[in-house]
Each structure stands twice: as C-alpha cells, then as structure tokens.
Amino acid sequence: MPKNKLKQKLKNGEVVLGLFMNCAYPAFIEICGLAGFDFAVIDLEHGPLNILVAEDLCRAADCVGIAPVVRVSKNDTAQIQRALDIGSAGVQVPQVETKRDAEIVIQSAKYNPIGCRGLSFGTRAGIYTSGGSNITNELNEESLVVVHVEGKKGIENLEQIVTVPEIDVIFLGPYDLSQSLGIPGQVNDVRVIELMEKAVKTIRSSGKVAGTFTNNSEDAKKWIDCKVQYIGLGVDVSIFLQGCQALVKGVRGEQGVKC
C-alpha cells in the first residue's frame, strides 16, 4: 500500500496546510490539491456530508495527491472505523477532554495489537481484499490520528492526553476554546491566545505535532512561528463566499454603482 505522505511530512518537521471541506462536489477537493494544499479535512461534524460522499471525496483527493482526512462527529468507535475504512489518510476526532477519551480514539483507530478496530478486508482501505496479509500492520503504521482539544477541560488535562501513544496530532480548536471561556468567537482574545500558546509548548515537548485552525494567512504565519505544524486554513464555503464578495465589491464598491 502507498505511504502516507502527509504523515511523513509531519515526521520530517514540515508545516502542512489544509482546508476544511463542506462541499460534496469532488472538483472542490481536486482544486484544493491543484492549489497546493497538503491535506483536506472532510467534515462530517459540522458540514452536511455523509460517509458515502466522503469516500468519493477521498478518491478525488487521491487523484491530485492531497491527503484526505475525515473529521467524525464525535468520539465514536463505529464512526472512527468507517472514516478509516473508506481509505482516508487519517481521522480527526473532536472534543477530546481526557486521557481516557484519547485512549478510546486509539482503540477505535488501530488494529490489534495496538487497538481493537474492527477488521474487514473488503473495504477501500483493505484494497477490497487484495491488500495482502500484512495490511493491518501497514494501516496501523500509515493512518494519521488527530484529536481535537477544544475546551478548558481538555486544556486542563492536556499533560495527560499527550502521554497517549499513537496520537500524531493534537489539534487546538480556537473557536470552541473561546466558547468554553465565555467569549464565543473571540479567537484573538488574549485569554485564548495565551492558553493556546501554552498548550502548543506542552504538545511540542511531548514529541507530538500541534495543529490549529485559522482563516487567514497572517494568523497562520504567527502559529507557524509558534511551532504549529498542522494548519487548517479556512473552510471551502467561506473561501467561496469571500471570493464572491470581493468580486461584487470590486464592481459596485462600498456604496454601489451610481448612474
């Protein structure tokens, strides 16, 4: 089976850029790959997508060399298993708040002897039974596991969470963190920034990769300077909206056209 290039880039210390995908049209994820993104997060938590659409998006991503990562809606064994069975490069699991939460993710994402992921070779991940006898070990090695730490409780338990083996990336969710602090949406508030900066140091000192989300290049560069490697850089629908707004504004201006 092919090597997970996204996972290898992270191991090499490279910064990777991704986009969150809410659109079902495969061309959107192909365009992301052509634009130079390293990965795309197929969002089954907040977006309208389902697992069948996600599998087709994985195929489209593979066509242009962008890594498809599936975000499930919750820390659920069946959802994590299906997200990996469709042949994704990895899984992202939201709202991980304790060490036990993180352990459940790994149990669900990895085959024996690491975890207890259900075994079926008749899947896209199993290359439809043609993957060979060693494929479970290969999938354990190549699958990327990302956990979201997105609230005060998760931050408080971060030193325990980072001790769980097999977690590759700990993704800090600024929006949910701001909400847990009673300042929803204020992701540039000093209280959010300070907690995230401290969390990045904890993650990095454990040997794991830190990730986060931002919707602009300036903030992305700031987090990269803080040693964040895995950057979610916007959402497809938001970027489309911004592009449309810029076109309309370019013609009409702030006040509209006067004849």
Q: Are 170 and 106 in contact (CB under 8 A)?
A: no
Q: Is the peptide bond before 113 cis (omega within 30 degrees of 0)?
A: yes
CA distance 12 to 45: 29
Q: Which residues contact 41 (CB under 8 A, 6 or more apart)?
A: 18, 19, 20, 21, 69, 70, 71, 92, 232
The three-point CA angle 87-89-90 to 5° equals: 105
Tens digit of pLDDT per residue, the chain (259 long)?
A: 778 999 999 999 999 999 999 999 999 999 999 999 999 999 999 989 999 999 999 999 999 999 999 999 999 999 999 999 999 999 999 999 999 999 999 999 999 999 999 999 899 999 999 878 789 999 999 999 999 999 999 999 999 999 999 999 999 999 999 999 999 999 999 999 999 999 999 999 999 999 999 999 999 999 999 999 999 999 999 999 999 999 999 998 866 555 5
Sign, CA torsion 206/212/217/218:
negative
CA distance 135 to 129: 10
Distances 237 to 24, 207, 212, 244 between C-alpha atoms, Å: 11, 34, 19, 11
Half-sphere CA count of 127, side-chain side, radius 13 A: 11
Half-sphere CA count of 162, side-chain side, radius 13 A: 20
Place of tokens 């197929």: 42
Distances 244 to 25, 238, 247, 257 between C-alpha atoms, Å: 18, 10, 5, 17
CA distance 118 to 120: 7
User: Comparing C-alpha atoms, which of 151, 122, 149, 154 is closest to residue 135?
Assistant: 122
Residues facing residue 18 across a β-bridge? 39, 232
Domain boundaries, given as residue ranges, for the chain: 5-252
Region for residue 153 given its phi and psi (left: phi exceeds 0; alpha: psi -120 to 50; beta: otherwise):
alpha
Architecture of domain 5-252 in this structure: Alpha-Beta Barrel (3.20)
